A and B are shown apart, each in its own frame.
Chain A
Amino acid sequence: MAKVIIKLGNDISTDDIYPGRHMATVLPSETPQFAFSDRTDFNAFLRSKEFAPGSIIVGGENFGCGSSREQACSALKGYNVAVVAKSISRIFLQNSINLGLKVVLCPGLEANEGDDLDLGADQVTNRSTGQSFEQVRLPAARQGIMDAGGLIPYTRTLLVAGRQP
């Protein structure tokens, strides 16, 4: 079970998650300080680290739209949070899988800040309201990257196995 630490609206862009002016900062060890930096209160909350690992950011439709900047994923991953959204923009979803940021697609989700959610394999259960919502599962072929712990170890394995074309 994990707590919802913020509920966001639709079309949360990567300019919102990781503003462009911090783009020269690239290392995953340094990006988290700038997560949602234009939302001063939430940024301060994140930096306080006063929340349990696995806590949840709830997004609406089209979460992570906009730029391909991977810092938007690494910044959130640095806080060990999960993203549960109604829909997620393609590049953000792909980057999350590649970096091992936990993301869950849940089109019917109803949850508010402070609610406790259970992220099951097929369902998201809101313990605070007693409602359950179905997840959209990712294609099985993508599971390989997640099982490997992200695209870096996945690629390393292919490389060592000599799968270079």
Chain B
Amino acid sequence: MSQGMTVVEKILARAAGLPSVAAGEVVEPLVDLAMSHENAALVINQFQEIFEGTGLAAKVWDPSRIAIIFDHRVPAESPKTATNQKKIREFVAANGINKFHDIRGDVGGICHQILPEYGYVRPGFVVVGTDSHTTSHGALGAFSFGVGATEMASAWSLGRAVNIEVPATIKVVVSGRFPPMVGPKDLILHLIGLLTAQGANFKVLEFHGETIRTMSTSGRIAICNMSVEAGATSGIVPGDEETRRYLCEEAGIAEDIPCTLPDPDAAYVRTVEIDVSALAPQIACPHLVDNVKSITEVLGTPVQQIVIGSCTNGRLDDLAAAADILRGRKVAAGTRMLVFPASGRIFAQALDKGYLHDFMKAGAVVMNSGCGPCLGVHEGALGDNETALSTTNRNFKGRMGNPKSEVYLCSPVVAAASAITGVITDPRHA
């Protein structure tokens, strides 16, 4: 018998039509789903260049496997973006792409929320996305990773990703029950601090253990989402009962869903064990995501902007936890709070449950779903020497639109507790 395979090796072997693959090989797997957002404008440009001079019509290989979601700059912040979006709409219509989510209050939202919500991703899929946080979809047992626009244009043409090195896998085994006010975001921040920003470069983080097994898909999306901040090609939670429950109940998929599991003798480059039962809330300090500290080391740091949302922490459970803390209280004077639900569906649910009302009464500004201030191009930019505390996933210099500002990253409950005081505050004592 040959060496057993990890989940991702199994997925890639199947997709590349090979009996087995091993880390370091370069393979050309079939693509099950190809996702882009506004940067589809560049993909289209590269796609058309591929066909130039070939005499072939520039048609995508399979429109049903392409998803395009407008989220990064919605509604458009500039004529340039609006024109890019218009060009993409025309391409979508011409190619018959129906997994298209335009700027809408009902079916719109952040790409990494829309894909799971609409059941576009299944366990065992190969998913490529022109976005580094495409790692998110490992939460559903898929091998899902970010690529550039030219790689995507190539995939649109061939139905394959042709520049993929089989990643080695790090096994992450998580045990213990989260203490109150501590959760998946704290776990992934802690892990990134442990591994460093490039500790998992070219590798996959495969998550196991009782804490993962009992974690909701929402929490799993948060940890897979941020796996890329340790450099990982992807994070992945092998599909299980919770994956089936999510796809059935939330995404309305009726059929039986097979899950790809690792072989018992799979080869891992490293195993990391984490017990979360004594974990404190974690904070990533400026200007690197691996500059992670326990909240106790940064308590009292003044913040002018609180952001709750993004593909990391803009889901219903995140909003519920933050609303529970803010209900009946006020955002501190001198601090502004921005809330942007991850999708139109979540927006409507949060509206029905009264969370948005709680936020507004507390003085927060509730924004349309989308990427909002996360990447500093649309709204919610910071002033010189201002500090933000955010539930997003990156704090690189300039990330929130101003290289002279600072961004701290945290969980929704830390953000909510800090909004009330205007300084970084421990939600365990709020």
Contact = CB atoms under 8 A, between A and B. Distances in A.
Interface stretch (A47-55, A116-124, A154-162): A154-162
A38 B231 contact: no
A20 B396 CA distance: 11
Chain B interface residue number, banded: 35 or more
Nearest to B375: A20
Interface string B125-153: 00001111010000000000011111101
A98 B198 contact: no
B87 to A, nearest CB: 10
Contacts of B42: 26-27, 70-71
Contacts of B147: 68, 91, 94
Interface centre among A26, A70, A155, A165 (most CB of B within 10 A): A155
A13 interface: yes
A159 B84 contact: no
A159 B376 CA distance: 38
A149 interface: no
A163 B399 CA distance: 41
Contacts of A152: 46, 49-50, 150, 153-154
B401 A61 contact: no
A8 interface: no
B197 A26 contact: no
A130 interface: no
Interface string B155-169: 001111011010000
Contact of B401 (A21, A62, A67): A21
A38 B148 CA distance: 22
B61 interface: yes
A66 B394 contact: yes
Contacts of B375: 20, 23, 67
A70 B163 contact: no
A68 B30 contact: no
Contacts of B80: 24-25
B201 A87 contact: yes
B158 A38 contact: no
Contacts of A61: 198
A150 interface: yes
A27 B43 CA distance: 10
A15 B394 contact: yes
Nearest to A158: B158
Given A20-B376, A20-B401, A151 B78 contact: no
B403 A38 contact: yes
B13 to A, nearest CB: 16
A24 B83 CA distance: 10
Contacts of A19: 376, 398, 403
A15 B56 contact: no
Contacts, number: 168
Given A24-B73, A68-B132, A159-B158, A15 B399 contact: yes
A23 B72 contact: yes
B231 A90 contact: yes
B430 interface: no
Contact of A68 (B51, B131, B158, B399): B131
A155 B154 contact: yes
A100 to B, nearest CB: 10
Contacts of A98: 148, 150-151, 154, 163
Interface string B281-306: 00000001000000000000000000
Interface centre among B30, B50, B78, B288 (most CB of A within 10 A): B50
Given A62-B201, A90-B202, A98-B163, 17 more contacts: A16-B396, A23-B38, A23-B375, A68-B131, A68-B132, A87-B201, A89-B201, A90-B233, A98-B148, A139-B24, A151-B153, A155-B50, A156-B51, A159-B56, A160-B54, A164-B158, A165-B61
Give the 9 A-B residue pairs with the shortest CB-CB distance, closest first.
Answer: A141-B26, A95-B148, A70-B148, A62-B198, A26-B42, A68-B146, A155-B154, A13-B396, A15-B396
25 contacts: A19-B398, A20-B375, A20-B399, A21-B377, A23-B72, A26-B42, A62-B231, A66-B396, A68-B130, A68-B131, A68-B147, A89-B198, A91-B147, A99-B150, A139-B26, A141-B26, A151-B153, A151-B154, A151-B163, A152-B46, A152-B49, A156-B51, A159-B54, A159-B157, A165-B158
Interface of B: 24-26, 30, 38-39, 41-42, 45-46, 49-54, 56, 61, 72-73, 78, 80-81, 84, 129-132, 134, 146-151, 153-154, 157-160, 162-163, 165, 197-198, 201-202, 231, 233, 288, 375-377, 394, 396-399, 401, 403
Interface of A: 11, 13, 15-16, 19-21, 23-27, 38, 61-62, 65-71, 73, 87, 89-91, 94-95, 97-99, 139, 141-142, 145, 150-152, 154-156, 158-160, 163-165
